[in-house]
């Protein structure tokens, strides 16, 4: 699939809401890359829709129903590090006083940035991450994305894992089949 098709496929799944416990990752975000990330548990990653292809996305995040902040997110195997499992690594664009492992992270992914790429050097990867954060910041200021910064997703999403959310006219249809082991659908007014 070419890059335009990847982008089109990924955007079909957006906006996408997810929630889960923050778990320990590989420990590279802050230490090696200078970009701290919050990693969601495997069960969240394993239940992503197929349309949410590997790549870099942006949106908004909230920890424990707190303030909503912009975020940049990587979904994939991170080829530079040759990961053997797919991850969701969320860089929240805010400086936190402490780690929040074990806390609930709620995100809404609103825009696709680029496909997952391999890099020849760590410096090349760092430059790409810096560019991803800059592009994410710009995109999140656009009206179609910015509206989600005011969305009450942190209130509407329960502490259970939400697998997807599609905008249908003025309501949001939520489908949850991860934590309940069955499909649960509700409509929320946006």
**Contact between 48 and 17 (Cβ < 8 Å):** no
Strands 104-115 and 16-23: antiparallel
Query: Computed over its alpha carbons, how large is the radius of gyration of the chain?
Result: 16
Which of 89, 123, 124, 138 is catalytic? The answer is 89
Q: What phi and psi, each to the nearest 5 degrees, are found at residue 99?
A: -65, 155
Assigned token pair, 15 = 């906006």
Cα distances (angstroms) measured from residue 49 to each of 92, 120, 131, 163: 22, 30, 26, 8
Look up 123 and say whether it is catalytic.
Answer: no
Q: Which residues are catalytic?
A: 89
């Amino acid at each position: 699939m070419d890059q335009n098709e990847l982008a089109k496929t990924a955007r079909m799944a957006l906006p996408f809401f997810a929630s889960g416990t923050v778990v320990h990752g590989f420990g590279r975000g802050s230490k090696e890359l200078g970009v701290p990330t919050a990693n969601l548990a495997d069960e969240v990653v394993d239940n992503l829709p197929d349309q949410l292809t590997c790549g870099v996305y942006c949106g908004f995040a909230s920890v424990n129903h707190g303030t909503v902040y912009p975020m940049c997110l990587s979904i994939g195997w991170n080829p530079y590090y040759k990961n053997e499992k797919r991850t969701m690594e969320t860089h929240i664009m805010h400086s936190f006083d402490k780690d929040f492992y074990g806390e609930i992270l709620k995100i809404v992914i609103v825009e696709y940035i680029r496909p997952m790429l391999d890099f020849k050097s760590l410096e090349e990867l760092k430059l790409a991450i810096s560019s991803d954060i800059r592009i994410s910041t710009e995109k999140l200021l656009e009206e179609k994305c910015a509206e989600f910064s005011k969305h009450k997703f942190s209130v509407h999403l329960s502490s259970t894992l939400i697998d997807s959310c599609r905008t249908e006219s003025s309501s949001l249809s939520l489908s949850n089949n991860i934590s309940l082991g069955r499909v649960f659908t509700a409509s929320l007014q946006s």
